[in-house]
Amino acid sequence: MSKLVPVNYDKVIKALTKLGYMVIHQRGSHVVMQLGDRSKYIAIFGERKPENMIVVPAHRPIGKGMVRTIMREADVSVEEFNKLVN
């Protein structure tokens, strides 16, 4: 089992972009992303039920608890997330 570590927000945004999420807007220190290309997500993971919108705090680094929450909203495991980030 892979270990979850704190990650900078820009890496989280890049990982979510690979899944088909798009940056909708940023207000202050929060970036709002929406699942724009659902077919891209389904091609990678199949018929999962991810959240439509995810809010990513623009912090360096984002703590492990918040990273886990974002992963849960995107319906991604720790191993899958670590592959996307690296």
Q: At what angle do helices 9-18 and 64-74 cross, to 10 degrees?
A: 10
Does pTM surpass 0.85?
no
In tens, the pLDDT along 50-70 reads 778 899 999 999 999 999 999
Q: What pLDDT is recorded for position 1?
A: 59
**Which domains occur in the chain, in start order?**
9-85 (3.30.920.30)
82: nearest Cα among 69, 71, 73, 66: 71
